[in-house]
Structure 1
Amino acid sequence: MSENTDALPEGGAAFLDQAGWAGCTIDPIPGDASFRRYFRLTGERGGAMLMHAPPPHEDPQPFLDVARWLSAKGARAPQIYADDRASGWVLIEDFGNDRMRDWLDHNPQGEAGAYTAAIDALVPLHRIEAGPFAPYDWPTYRREVNLLTEWYAPAMGLEVDAEGFVEAWQNALGPLLARQGKGVTVLRDYHAENIMLLGPASDGSGEQGLIDFQDALAGHPAYDLVSLLQDARRDVSIELEAQMLERYQSHGLANEHFDADYALLGAQRNAKIVGIFTRLYKRDGKQRYLALVPRVWEAMERDLKHPALAPVARWFDANIPDDLRHQLGGTIA
């Protein structure tokens, strides 16, 4: 049997024994925003990461499917060593401790190198057809932006025109959806907390590993750029954002609509995140997310200045009071 098996949910020790990891040391890793839990394993076979995605709250199959597809296409997803979908157990490669966000906190001089590597990692995925994933379509975009009117507006004591909000977004996103076509693989949460630095380069430009991609869809290539460069959890300067967008465009993947589409998806994603962070606080009692809202709101305000967002900008002007807008979204009660 494995050491520290009392740290595992029921069935974990048996899964490890069957996978050939009996006798390993188990160290739980703190989690936060989902039912998934992670455990670091150390034993005679080296190191590995154990993920528990317990049904019915979680299903590890999407993670398994996306990880295997990414690996087949040359992207650096963790290897899958063993899995038991029915019980929610997955044994994967351990990418170590150098999460990009944490590494940059201690190595700010490596910021340009790390972000350049993150931009370049997207390029091969954007040169090929999207994986066999559901489309990032209008119903999905609509459901996501509605989180702002469903959670943020009530939390602020605002009565807003919810139907007008949907109509404004439909008008704004219509041209983008027509241009999106079949799209590319969109990882959806591609940012500094979900990128692991695997290489030895002191400037952050080494190999990078991908995690938390189980919600991948087939969508617009600008979406993951927004995730990375308008990061809800880490300050990315306007100068670095512009530099990295120029880097991406240098690969010949952008067209004349790139700036508009980037702003559209920036505002869409940031509206969604404001709603999600409000929900995490109001429903789940996770207060720490409130401190992130001003950063997200500020990025959304910049996006709304683009002419492509005119219908949405008019809605915000009519429904979110000026004093709250100047407070970058106000203080959620």
Structure 2
Amino acid sequence: MNDRAALSHAFLAKAGWGDADRQFLAGDASDRSYDRLSWGSKTAVLMDAPPGKGDDTATFLAIAQHLSAIGLSGPNCYAQDLENGFLLLEDLGDNIYATLLKSAPTLENSLYTVATQVLAHLQCHPPAANLANLAAQDWAEAACFALDWYRFAITGDRTDPTDFRNALIDAISRHADGPRVMILRDFHAENLLWLPDRPGLARVGLLDFQLAQLGQPGYDLVSLLQDARRDVSRETEAAMIGVFCNLTGTAADSFRPAYATLGAQRALRILGIFARLCLHSDKPNYIPLIPRVWHHLQRNLAEPELSPLARICARLLPEPTPEALARIGAQCGHFR
């Protein structure tokens, strides 16, 4: 038994769950992982977030409490060990949006409508305290991952990011740098659960929100509708943009370039993250998702307001052809 396993067993014993059956539930792009615990008729989820790895359990609890206070459904916490990064959480079940939609794709519009309503509800309330608030330059710098990792993985060379960064700063400043709201950042079908027995907007269970911050109103909507892991129909995307604009009182004409700008920034950053997860973290399973993200990027860059950024991206970023993706995969774990 390694030290981390021993710590988790000690935590569960102290919490009264030491005799529970334990089954791996999920892991993700971070070092965080989840186990489902079963003890008689009761279940719970163990969240294991090693300290110093970017996921703070105290922040997770603070955001969960905020969501609960405004009538939304983050998991309740039964026990905590913040020093060692363990939380014993309410088990919200297995009705993950992505799983439901595989077996019942006709539910997409209805499920996404409630999720979009959740976003509007979240944004009409004051944000949680002490959230980071990034400037346009910070958002642009985060997108430079596309050059640092995605481009590098395919071409093997480095390039001056100045023009790329400045074009994105300009696009964000012009089109998507308005009043800030609370954003959850990873608001997509793998992190949403359907809880039909709960009332109203509490029917949407929320996960993976510990990196919440202040951001632009359209960011989480982009995360939901331009999902790196599943294709959302263009009809649903258009309908949900309409729902969001109606609920938030946003003019559709001004929201269109903001949505595209945020979509481009997010797609660029994800391209870099997925390449880095392969090269640095030896996680090749994100490579097959890259073409979908590239498609999102091209759609966003097609908006007339983003033509300067589109020209720079066309010059600097290679298309993820099968040969390019194979080149990324061949370097898995070589840059730790």
Counterpart of 2:195, as a letter, is L
2:45 equivalent among 43, 49, 72: 49
Counterpart of 1:25, as a letter, is D
Deviations 1:216-266 (A, max 9, x none): 011111000000000000011222211111121221431342111100000
Asked if 2 retains the 8 angstrom alpha-carbon contact of 1:148 and 1:271, the reply is yes
**Counterpart in 2 of 1:296?**
293
CA–CA distance in structure 1, aligned partners of residues 122 and 222 of structure 2: 16
CA–CA distance in structure 2, aligned partners of residues 42 and 265 of structure 1: 41
Asked if 2 retains the 8 angstrom alpha-carbon contact of 1:26 and 1:42, the reply is yes
**Counterpart in 1 of 2:67?**
70
CA–CA distance in structure 1, aligned partners of residues 311 and 296 of structure 2: 17
**Counterpart in 2 of 1:331?**
325
Check 1:35–1:78 CA distance in 2 against 1; reply closer, same or farther (3 A cut): same
**Counterpart in 1 of 2:219?**
223
**Counterpart in 2 of 1:84?**
81
Counterpart of 2:232, as a letter, is V
Counterpart of 2:110, as a letter, is G
Asked if 2 retains the 8 angstrom alpha-carbon contact of 1:297 and 1:329, the reply is no
Stretch moving more, 17-26 or 81-90: 17-26
Stretch moving more, 224-233 or 241-250: 241-250
Check 1:11–1:331 CA distance in 2 against 1; reply closer, same or farther (3 A cut): closer
**Counterpart in 2 of 1:283?**
280
**Counterpart in 1 of 2:305?**
308
Asked if 2 retains the 8 angstrom alpha-carbon contact of 1:52 and 1:90, the reply is yes
Deviations 1:86-133 (A, max 9, x none): 011101110111111011111112111111111111111111222221
Matches within 5 A, 1:21-36: 21-36=17-32
Shift of 1:206: 8.5
Matches within 5 A, 1:88-99: 88-99=85-96
Counterpart of 1:131, as a letter, is A
Counterpart of 1:184, as a letter, is V
Counterpart of 2:209, as a letter, is F
SS at 1:29 equivalent: strand
**What's the TM-score, normalizing by structure 2?**
0.88
Shift of 1:301: 0.4
Asked if 2 retains the 8 angstrom alpha-carbon contact of 1:7 and 1:28, the reply is no
**Counterpart in 1 of 2:330?**
none
CA–CA distance in structure 2, aligned partners of residues 66 and 176 of structure 1: 28
**Counterpart in 1 of 2:135?**
137
Shift of 1:30: 4.0
**What's the TM-score, normalizing by structure 1?**
0.89
2:15 equivalent among 16, 19, 23: 19
- 5+ residue gaps, structure 2: 328-336
Find runs of 4+ consecutive structure 1 residues off by over 6 angstroms: 5-8
Stretch moving more, 251-260 or 300-309: 251-260
Structure 2 residue 255 is matched with structure 1 residue 240: no
Shift of 1:310: 2.2
Counterpart of 1:229, as a letter, is L
1:151 equivalent among 130, 135, 149: 149
Asked if 1 retains the 8 angstrom alpha-carbon contact of 2:132 and 2:213, the reply is yes
CA–CA distance in structure 2, aligned partners of residues 22 and 275 of structure 1: 40
Deviations 1:20-77 (A, max 9, x none): 3343222222424222121111225721111111223343122111111111122211
Asked if 1 retains the 8 angstrom alpha-carbon contact of 2:176 and 2:261, the reply is no
SS at 2:325 equivalent: coil
